[in-house]
Structure formats: C-alpha cells, structure tokens
C-alpha cells in the first residue's frame, strides 16, 4: 500500500451522463426553471414518496420557505445546537425564535417528544426520532426512498456540492399538503400566480397577478438536469457508501448507520487533524455547537447546558466518505487513524 496517498475529504461523483445533460440544457435555450425542473420535481417526489416537491436554489432557502409556509411568527422552535448554522439561522430569519436542544450521542440526532414546534435534523444520514408540533425536517444529509410517504411534516433536502446527490447547489421542499404546495410554488417566484414563461405555453394571455410578496428562490434548468442524473444513480451511490461505512464500523468497533458523514471521536482533535493531514488525509468537523457561536448569543440562554452536544463538539471528527473512495484509500484511512490514536485512544460513544 502506498504511503503517499492524497485523499481529499470530498470528491464530487459525476460522469459523462452529467456532462451530456448540461449540454442538452445549454443547447435548448431554456436555462432558467422550466420543463426539466418540473421533471426533476416529479421524479424526486416519486422517489421520496411525497405528493409534491418544489425545487429551489438551496436547502437554506428550502428551510426558510418551509418556515414561512407555516405562517407562524414569534414562535419558539426547538432545534439541535449540533447542526449547520442554516438550520437555526432560518428560524430567526423567518421571524421566529430558537431554543437549542441536546442530541443523543449514538445517533447525534435529537429524540423524544417536545409537544412544541420543532426543526429536527437528520444528522449524517441518521433519522431523527424527535417529535413535535408542527415539525419541519432538515433532511440535508438524508435522501431515502419513501421517507416522505404519509409524512405530515414539511421535509427539506439539499443538493449542495457535498451531499449524496448534488446539483452544485440546490434544495427541495417536499410535502403532502396541497395548500402548502400551492403557496410554495408562488413563494419561490415573487408570489406570482404563474411560474414565469413556463405557464405561458398553456396560457398565452400574458396578464398575471402578484398574490403576495414572495421571494426569488427558483433554481435553474442546469441544476435540475444534474439532479435528475444524480437521482438515477442514488441507489448505486448509497450502496458504495454503505460498504465503506460497514468497513469503518468493523475496524473501529462502531455501529454508525448514516450514509452521509462518518464520525469518529478522538481525545485531542487538533493534534489528530494535523497528523492526518501529514498522512495526506483531509478530515473535517461536523459541527461546532451553535450555542458556542458569537452570532447566536443574543438568541439563546447563556446558561444553557447540552452535555452530549458539548462532548461531541470537542471530540467529533468526520472521515472521508464518498463513492469514489477506493478500497485501498479506505484501508489507508483506517490504518492511519489507528496509528495516530494508537487504537486505545479512539473514544467510544
């Protein structure tokens, strides 16, 4: 095995199919949201088992529109502190409040029934069992077949460059509520009762109405074209990710199930990360708790205590996990993790 491997934390998975799809859109002359967008929404809704799906420019925008769709203001949403800033930030941007909650160490997701508004996060591809009312699901790390079937919640997905399927950027809002769907379709395009030129193919008379003050949140045909190709590959992508996760689990004696991130836990994180870089392996940290961040101090209780989150926030490291990792690279990663932590120092959850 080579001792000079260079392994990035992320490598985007794509092939000739994605290139052909982009060229097809380029040559069509229709670059903004249009027929390819509608096809992607239909295919994605079918995959996750939702009645409706609305493609938007980012998962952050998906969360914002989902929150606005509930028509709540000045309401406190419970949200894990161990998540990306978009999860909590969009609650505040939507005119509501946050209360940070703890996560379980084994799943790194919240659990329990809060009986109150909740934004639950499926960390690393693990499904959060937390309950509340109403609930918005941040599913940026999880795209699973039929996960929205008979689901009353609004579910938001991400297609950013680091996700299991990617459009470069992009997000999707999935719902089984026709009223929410109708509002979202207008909200993503200024609140107009027609979706731009697309509707004019069926209704050539131009007059339109601005039903409410919406936003400019639609994505492009290029993004939708990438999404269609990547969605068709998702089962194969996840099969490879699962093989890597299973290997990591055997070698590290973990029982992790998520397919988006693979976390390990070390005593001296900075020292560990520097040693891995010297070995040619780039790792990451997901995440530093939000209640430690300067931007959130005005919005959270200064005496907040989240013991699991704070332990994870000090010790969690995420290893490379993507379909283009070769078996040799995965073995090299494991070998160096064990060498650096001398195995006995790898913390257990």
- What confidence tens digit (pLDDT) does each residue in 310-332 have? 999 999 999 999 999 999 999 99
155 close to 146: Cβ distance less than 8 angstroms: no
CATH of the domain at 250: 3.90.1150.10
Residues 204 and 125 in one domain: yes
User: For residue range 263-299, what is the model confidence (pLDDT) as tens digits?
Assistant: 999 999 999 999 999 999 999 999 999 999 999 999 9
| Dist CA 128 CA 78 (whole Å) | 13
Residue 2 domain-assigned?
Answer: no
Percent of the chain beyond pLDDT 90? 91
Both tokens of residue 135? 């609930």
Residues 251 and 125 in one domain: no
Residues 244 and 195 in one domain: no
| Dist CA 166 CA 162 (whole Å) | 7
Average pLDDT of every residue of the chain:
94
Average pLDDT for 41-50: 98
Percent of the chain beyond pLDDT 70? 94
Average pLDDT for 12-33: 96
Residues 220 and 323 in one domain: no
Coil, helix or strand at residue 66: helix
Selected residue with higher pLDDT from 52 and 205: 52
**Three-class SS string for 114-173?**
CCCCEEEECHHHCCCCCECCCEEEEECCCCCCCCCCCCCCEEEEECCCCCCCCCCCCEEE
Residues 67 and 204 in one domain: yes
Residue 1 clears pLDDT 50, i.e. is over it? no
> Which of 191, 226, 261 is the endpoint of a domain?
226
Residues 239 and 220 in one domain: no
| Dist CA 210 CA 192 (whole Å) | 4
Average pLDDT for 79-87: 98
* Domain count along the chain: 2
Intra-chain end-to-end CA distance of the chain, in Å: 31
Residue 9 domain-assigned?
Answer: no
- Sorting pLDDT into bands at 50, 70 and 90, what band is 3? low
CATH of the domain at 108: 3.40.640.10
Residues 206 and 250 in one domain: no
| Dist CA 51 CA 288 (whole Å) | 36
User: For residue range 227-250, what is the model confidence (pLDDT) as tens digits?
Assistant: 999 999 999 999 999 999 999 999
Residues 201 and 239 in one domain: no
Instruction: Specify the pLDDT at position 196.
Output: 52
Average pLDDT for 70-88: 98
Half-sphere exposure of residue 13, counting CA atoms within 13 Å on the CB side? 24
Both tokens of residue 295? 């931007």
How far does CA 39 lie from the centroid of its chain? 21
User: For residue range 133-148, what is the model confidence (pLDDT) as tens digits?
Assistant: 999 999 999 999 999 9
> Which of 205, 226, 247 is the endpoint of a domain?
226
> Which of 226, 261, 286 is the endpoint of a domain?
226
- Global model pTM greater than 0.85: yes
Structural domain containing residue 82: 16-226
Instruction: Specify the pLDDT at position 43.
Output: 98
Coil, helix or strand at residue 282: coil
Residues 325 and 198 in one domain: no
Residue 347 domain-assigned?
Answer: no
């Amino acid at each position: 095995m080579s001792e000079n491997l260079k392994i990035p934390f992320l490598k985007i998975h794509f092939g000739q199919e994605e290139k052909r799809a982009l060229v097809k859109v380029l040559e069509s002359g229709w670059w903004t949201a249009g027929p390819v967008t509608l096809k992607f929404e239909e295919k994605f809704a079918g995959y996750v088992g939702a009645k409706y799906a609305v493609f938007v420019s980012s998962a952050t925008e998906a969360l914002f529109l989902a929150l606005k769709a509930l028509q709540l203001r000045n309401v406190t949403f419970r949200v894990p502190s161990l998540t990306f800033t978009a999860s909590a930030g969009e609650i505040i941007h939507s005119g509501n409040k946050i209360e940070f909650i703890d996560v379980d160490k084994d799943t790194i997701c919240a659990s329990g029934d809060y009986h109150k508004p909740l934004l639950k996060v499926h960390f690393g591809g693990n499904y959060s069992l937390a309950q509340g009312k109403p609930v918005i699901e941040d599913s940026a790390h999880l795209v699973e077949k039929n996960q929205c079937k008979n689901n009353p919640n609004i579910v938001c997905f991400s297609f950013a460059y680091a996700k299991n399927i990617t459009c470069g950027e992009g997000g999707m809002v999935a719902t089984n509520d026709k009223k929410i769907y109708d509002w979202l379709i207008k909200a993503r395009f200024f609140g107009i009762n027609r979706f731009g030129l697309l509707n004019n193919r069926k209704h050539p008379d131009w007059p339109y109405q601005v039903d409410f003050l919406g936003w400019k949140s639609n994505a492009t045909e290029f993004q939708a074209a990438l999404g269609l190709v990547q969605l068709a590959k998702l089962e194969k992508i996840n099969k490879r990710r699962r093989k890597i996760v299973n290997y990591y689990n055997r070698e590290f004696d973990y029982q992790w199930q998520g397919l988006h991130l693979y976390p390990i836990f070390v005593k001296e994180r900075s020292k560990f990360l520097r040693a891995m870089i010297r070995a040619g392996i780039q790792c990451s940290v997901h995440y530093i708790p939000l209640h430690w961040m300067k931007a959130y101090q005005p919005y959270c209780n200064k005496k907040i205590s989240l013991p699991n989150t704070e332990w994870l926030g000090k010790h969690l490291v995420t290893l490379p996990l993507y379909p283009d990792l070769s078996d040799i690279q995965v073995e090299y990663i494991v070998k160096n993790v064990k060498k650096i932590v001398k195995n006995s120092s790898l913390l257990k959850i």
